[in-house]
C-alpha cells in the first residue's frame, strides 16, 4: 500500500493512505521520510502514525498549558476530548511533567492563592478535588488560611450589608457567605461578630 497524498494546511498536515485521511505531525513526516507514492506496509504505517499521535498530543497539550495552568486530570480530559488514544495521552502528560509544565502541587498552590480572595476554603477544596488534586496536597495549602478567610468573610459581609441595607437579614447573609464557600463554623463566627 502507498501514500496517496500529503496535504499541508497552516496548522495541520493530512496524509491520505489507502484512501483514508490521517492527521500527522510535520516533524514525523520529515523524520520518517514520508512522501506521496511511497510504498509502506500497513504495520509500519500505523507504528509511524502512533509516533505522530504522541507528538500531536504533546504539541496540543503544550499549547493549552501556555495559556493557563491545568491539573493533570484536566489535561487528560482535554486530550481525550480531542480524540487522542491513551498511549499518546500518557506520552504528552509525561513530557509535560518532565518539563514541569504540569505539576498538581504547583497548580493547587496557585489555585488557592488566586481564589482565596473571593471564595471560602470549603468551595476551593470541592473545586480542587473535582480537578483531581489529592486531599493531602489541598490540605497543605489550606491549613493556615483561617484568619485570612475570616477577614475576607467579614469584608464580604460588610459589602453585603452596605448594599442591602434594611433588607439584610442574618439568614440572607448566612446564605450569601455559604454560597461563597465559607465553612459553617467561620460563618457563625462572622455572624456573631456582626450581629452582637
Residue 49: pLDDT over 70: yes
* pTM for this prediction: 0.84
Residue 180: pLDDT over 80: yes
Residue 134 is classified by DSSP as -
Rg (CA), the chain: 26
Kindly report, residue by residue over 82-127, the tens digit of the pLDDT.
999 999 999 999 999 999 999 999 999 999 999 999 999 999 999 9
Half-sphere exposure of 24 (CA within 13 A, CB side): 28
**114 vs 111, 120, 145, 175, CA distance in Å?**
5, 12, 13, 23
Mutual angle of helices 104-115 and 121-130, in 10-degree steps: 150
Of how many residues is the chain composed? 196
Residue 4: pLDDT over 80: yes
Q: Which helix (H) or strand (E) holds 7?
A: strand 3-8
The three cell numbers of residue 7 are 496535504
DSSP assignment of 116-176 equals TTTS-HHHHHHHHHHTT--HHHHHHHHTT-HHHHHHHHHHHHHHHHHHHGGG--HHHHHHH
pLDDT of 101 = 95
Residue 196 confidence class, pLDDT cut points 50, 70, 90: low
pLDDT of 10 = 79
The three cell numbers of residue 63 are 499549547
Residue 53 confidence class, pLDDT cut points 50, 70, 90: very high
Alpha helices in 82-120 (DSSP H): 86-98, 104-115
Amino acid at each position: 500500500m502507498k501514500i496517496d497524498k500529503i496535504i499541508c494546511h497552516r496548522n495541520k498536515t493530512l496524509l491520505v493512505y489507502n484512501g483514508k485521511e490521517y492527521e500527522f505531525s510535520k516533524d514525523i513526516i520529515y523524520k520518517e521520510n514520508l512522501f506521496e507514492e511511497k510504498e509502506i506496509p500497513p504495520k509500519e504505517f500505523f507504528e509511524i502514525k502512533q509516533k505522530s499521535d504522541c507528538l500531536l498530543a504533546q504539541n496540543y497539550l503544550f499549547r493549552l498549558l501556555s495559556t493557563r495552568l491545568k491539573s493533570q486530570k484536566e489535561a487528560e480530559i482535554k486530550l481525550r476530548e480531542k480524540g487522542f488514544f491513551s498511549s499518546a495521552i500518557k506520552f504528552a502528560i509525561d513530557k509535560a511533567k518532565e518539563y514541569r509544565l504540569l505539576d498538581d502541587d504547583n497548580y493547587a498552590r496557585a489555585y488557592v492563592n488566586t481564589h482565596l480572595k473571593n471564595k471560602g476554603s470549603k468551595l476551593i477544596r470541592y473545586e480542587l478535588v473535582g480537578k483531581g488534586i489529592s486531599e493531602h496536597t489541598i490540605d497543605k495549602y489550606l491549613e493556615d488560611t483561617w484568619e485570612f478567610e475570616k477577614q475576607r468573610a467579614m469584608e464580604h459581609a460588610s459589602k453585603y450589608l452596605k448594599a442591602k441595607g434594611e433588607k439584610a437579614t442574618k439568614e440572607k447573609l448566612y446564605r450569601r457567605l455559604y454560597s461563597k464557600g465559607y465553612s459553617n463554623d467561620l460563618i457563625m463566627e462572622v455572624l456573631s461578630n456582626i450581629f452582637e
